[in-house]
Amino acid sequence: MITEDFTRYSCQMALPGFGEATQELLQKARVLVVGAGGLGCPAAQYLAGVGVGTLGIADYDAVSLTNLHRQILYTPADAGLKKAVIAADILQKQNPGIKLIAHDIKITSDNVMDLIAPYDIVVDCTDNFETRYLLNDACVLSDKPIVYGAIYQFEGQVAIWNVRNSCGVPSSNYRDLFPQVNAAQIPNCAEGGVIPTLAGIIGCMQANEVIKYITKAGDLLAGRVLIFDAHSMQSRIIKIGYASKTNITGLTGTIIIPTMSVIEVRRGLLDDTIELVDVRTDQERDVIDIGGIHMEADEVEDNRDYLTSGKPKVLYCSSGKRSGEVVKAIKQKFPDAKIYSLEGGLQNWFLNQ
């Protein structure tokens, strides 16, 4: 007998093989969405809509006007407010019958295991490689599945990692696909661009994988990666392997990236106590720059003597993420180097004229 609580789910419960028992599986499920941005907004919205009983939203960033074209849960009035808190509040109003939990924290190697512990499955909607690897490794160590999604310009990828196959062996994970990535050389959405509809498509696909996993229905993208091209509207599936070939025994310690605010940088330039370094491409610098030495991200290794000596260096890019990755890579090799990333990059620089 269908209860009154399930009335809003009547259309999905009318699906073949999707009845009250299936809806109860969703109601009992605990899902953590990490990243409340372009992917996390649609993924979380549909998971809330379908009736996932407990939905966690983890994000430490604030809403920015430059993100609104693809981060559909927010409005201009939310600019500067914390994404996890706003998203959880909106989704709770959209579905009062489920439990929303906001995790307004920066995920590190010290807290990631505790963060994911209460949840059955994790959805990786992040936009930086350090957190992506950290979540992947934590889920492998915790024996939890994790749904992967990534977007850049017109292309998106979706997969589900670390699912026990019929032999009881974990399926492939992110490190099977990308053992190591030089994140400093890869522009993010703010710098390389992204078509906003792609975020919605891939985020919905991620939610779909979660629903399939919880309800034990459909063919999961385990051991495979779906690649979607929004330009051609074509997709293809690449097989990675039946089982994981990686051996993850622990977490890589999180490196805190030192940053300088726009105010601090302007003061330092005025006092001649710091030096600026532009790590963007030649094409980006030709459009606009704020001075300083120019070296592209992939040229940093050839200039490490300059970067690790003399006055403190402040690296900048469009959003602060690419320069942050360069700073992190240098700090890994030279912990005492006086090197910083411009907080918020050029976007923040021109917002604070």
CA pseudo-torsion sign 116, 119, 121, 126: negative
Which of the following is catalytic: 41, 125, 139, 189?
A: 189
Report CA torsion sign: 289, 191, 230, 38.
Answer: negative
Query: Does 167 qualify as catalytic in the annotation?
Result: no
Using an 8 Å Cβ cutoff, are 36 and 57 in contact?
Answer: yes
Beta strands in the chain (DSSP E): 30-34, 54-58, 99-103, 121-124, 146-152, 155-161, 224-229, 234-239, 259-260, 275-278, 293-294, 313-316, 339-342
Annotation says 139 is catalytic: no
Nearest C-alpha neighbor of 335 from the set 276, 261, 255: 255
Q: What is the DSSP letter of 64?
A: -
Q: Please say whether the beta carbons of 131 and 86 come within 8 A.
A: no
Nearest to 325 by CA among 294, 296, 287, 284: 296
Which amino acid appears at position 180 of this protein?
A: Q
Dist. CA 198–CA 30, nearest whole Å = 26
Distance between CA atoms of 107 and 300, rounded to whole angstroms? Answer: 27
Query: Which residue of the set 41, 125, 139, 317 is catalytic?
Result: 317
Looking only at the bridges linking them, the beta strands covering 146-152 and 339-342 are: unpaired
**In sequence order, which residues have a C-beta less than 8 Å from that of residue 51 and are 6 or more positions away?**
8, 9, 23, 26, 27, 95, 97, 98
Catalytic residues: 189, 317
